Each structure stands twice: as structure tokens, then as C-alpha cells.
Amino acid sequence: MPYLNITEVESAVTSLAAAFPGSTQLITLPERSVEGRTAHALRISTPAPAPKDCVLLIGGVHAREWGSCEVLVHFAADLLEAQRDGTGLGYGGTTFTADQVDALLHRLDLVVYPLVNPDGRLYSQTVRSMWRKNRNPANAGGSPNPSCVGVDLNRNYDFLFDFATAFDPAATPQVSADPCDPQVYAGPSAFSEPETRNVRWLLDQCPRTRWFVDVHSYAQDMLYNWGDDDNQSVDPDMNFRNSQYDGKRGLPGDLAYSEYIPKGDEDTAKLLAEAFCQGVGGVRGVPYKPMTGFHLYPTSGTSDDYVYTRHFTDPDHRGKVLGFTVEWGNDAVPSPNPFHPPWAEMAKIVLDVDAGLVQFCLAAT
């Protein structure tokens, strides 16, 4: 099958809800996109005697990364169909038994939101294939430059949003305050965009979310917190909320700053990232690396770091959510555009990543 267009992604989500009414709930996101589109997520939840912890998975954030939607649509369909039919799941050399599928769905709720940025995906698939941002024209200031439209949604979350203050002047975080930056413009303020507010709303509506996965491409990695600096578990006062460290973040290997993470959280995040990579690698031998987001490149305003900050900033009302970002790809297969490789290769990547996600969820249980 070819890549799905935005209508087909929405149809896939609503069709799964209709086909599995006893195991799913169709969630209508409250805010329309900039161009007026309504998005849906799918909650997969089998009956249980007590409330269950939840994994929230999102995709389709960066418009040009077409395969992320397909990864999540197939992931949801695979689990629902395997449970209905009482079968296991086979992804090349990575397999799961029917008992494992059943246990996963009885111990966890899953919320799958495959297409966060429908406007951008449509524009990428019909006008500019390498388009990354959403389609908000509000900050273009009348500029005729088409790059001045849009916000990078994965820089628009409330984590060190004022990066010019937070980071060392010599650091190079991949983020921009320039509305005409064609890639990483963060927007005028955190959560300025309806698409990121929808993700925040889902987190608020699913308070038992304990794990969050944002599916992107391309680097063959499974990233975990943090993305702004190296991790450390010694000094809890050295953290993103402490303005004493403004202007010191973002340099690798220095002594001025490292981001605090409790050792238990880092150990757990690393184990889950390793489980994902093990699941991927078993399919056909494609190696993925578990590492912190910072070791890909320094960032601020990203989804995975934002979700983890919530229990630090509001511990009385928000539970701990470990944040992860999948960077799918296959460096061994040359492609003219690695963000949307030929479908024959993307179909294999879908199997790789879905095996990793199932393995991740089993490890989380």
C-alpha cells in the first residue's frame, strides 16, 4: 500500500473504533488545526477490575516524516486484531505470543494519536515534500517568503522555551526564534499552537499516563530524557527550573551544568529504550541505539521533555511520565528522501518499529 493521506489516516482511526467497539474509544481532540481540521485519537482499553496505567503514543508531528502515522495505525490494528483472533504477533524474527498480547492489553491502556499535524502533512504530500512545520501563517508578518509560515510543533512545548536565556551562548540548540526559519521556529510562546494544546489536553484527560512515545524520523534511535544537557543524578538543585543556571546549559561534557534526573528514572528509561531497540533488532537485524535526546543534539520545547517535567512543576496534580522519542529509519538502504523512503522499504520499517513498540509496552508492564 502507498503512504496514507490525511483523510485515510483519520478513516483508519475511526474504522478501528467502529470495528472494535468493546476494546476502543474514539477520542475527538478539542481544538481544530490552524486550517480547521478535527483530529482523533484511539484509546485501546480492555475491561479490568481497577484503573490501568497508560502509554500515550503520538505521531505525524513533523509533516515530512510520513511513515510515523502508518507506524501507529498498524500498531493499533495489529494489537486489536491479534487479541480478537487469539493469536500472537510475528514481525520477522521478533514474535509475541497470544498470552503476551492479552497480558499487555489487560495491564495497560494505550492511547494512539497518529496524526498531530494534518495541515502540514497535507502540504508536504501535495506541495513541498520536505515541509516540517504546521501551517500557521500568523507570525509571517506579511512576508512573501513561504518559509515564514508555520511553527515547529516539537519546539512549541513548555520546556526551557526561552532558550536564549536558558542555554550557554556557545551552545547550539536546534531551535529558533525566527518565524522565517524553515525548520525549527518554536513559535511566539509555549503552546501557541492548537496541535500542541491537543497533546497537552490528552495528557490531562489521561492522568494515569506513565509513558509517552513520540514517533519521528530519521536516525535509528530511541531517545529518552533529557534533551537540553547531559544527565546527572547527584545534585537535584541543578535542574531546568533553577534560574541560577541560566546561560549555562547545552554544552556536552562541561562541569557548569548537567540536567538532574533521579537515578531510578534514568535506569528505568534506559531499560525501556533498550527493550524497544531489542524488539526492533530482532525483526531483520536493523540496529537502533538507546540514548538521551541530548546525544542526538541539544533541544528545548520538545514533547518528550515536556511530559517528564510535569510532575516536577506540579507534583500535587500530575503523575510522573517518562518521555521517549522514536527516530525511525534505515541507514543501510539508500533513499533519495530518508524522511519518506520508497513504500517497499517503509513497510519494512513499520514492522521494525511496531515490534519495538510492542516490546516496549511489555517491558513497561
Q: For residue range 141-162, list pLDDT tens digits in order.
A: 778 899 999 999 999 999 999 9
202-253 residue pLDDT tens: 999 999 999 999 999 999 999 999 999 999 999 999 999 999 999 999 999 9
Question: Is residue 68 one of the residues assigned to a domain?
Answer: yes
The amino acid at residue 65 is: E
194 within domain boundaries: yes
Question: How far apart, in Å, are the Cα atoms of 92 and each of 2, 284, 315?
Answer: 21, 6, 42
Give me the helices (H) in 148-290, please. Answer: 163-166, 194-205, 263-284
The verdict on residue 280 lying in a domain is yes
Q: Is the pLDDT of residue 48 over 90?
A: no
- Tell me the CA distances in angstroms from 168 to 45, 163, 276, 309, 352, one per residue in order: 45, 9, 33, 21, 38
> How far is CA 219 from each of CA 114, 149, 206, 241, 287, rounded to the nearest angstrom?
20, 26, 30, 30, 10
Residue 37: is its pLDDT beyond 70? yes
On whether residue 113 sits in a domain, the answer given is yes
Q: How confident is the model at residue 335 (pLDDT cuts 50, 70, 90)?
A: confident
Task: Give residue 1's pLDDT.
Answer: 59
Predicted pLDDT at 154: 98
Indicate whether 237 belongs to any domain.
yes
Q: Is the pLDDT of residue 355 over 80?
A: yes
Q: Classify residue 192: in a domain, yes or no.
A: yes
**Contact status, residue 214 vs residue 59, Cβ threshold 8 Å:** yes
Domain of residue 51, residue span: 6-364
The pLDDT assigned to 260 comes to 98
Average pLDDT over residues 278-291: 97
- Mind giving me the DSSP string for 32-84? --TTS---EEEEE----SS--EEEEEE---STT-THHHHHHHHHHHHHHHHHH
Please check the confidence at residue 50 and state whether its pLDDT lies above 90. no
User: Does residue 225 lie in a domain region?
Assistant: yes
Split into its structural domains, the chain has a count of 1
Residue recorded with cell 528505568: 268
CATH code of 73's domain: 3.40.630.10
- Write down the mean pLDDT value for the chain: 96
Domain assignment present for residue 1? The answer is: no
CA 153 from chain center: how many Å?
Answer: 11
pLDDT at 198 over 90: yes
User: For the segment 253-273, what is each residue's pLDDT rounded down to a tens digit?
Assistant: 999 999 999 999 999 999 999
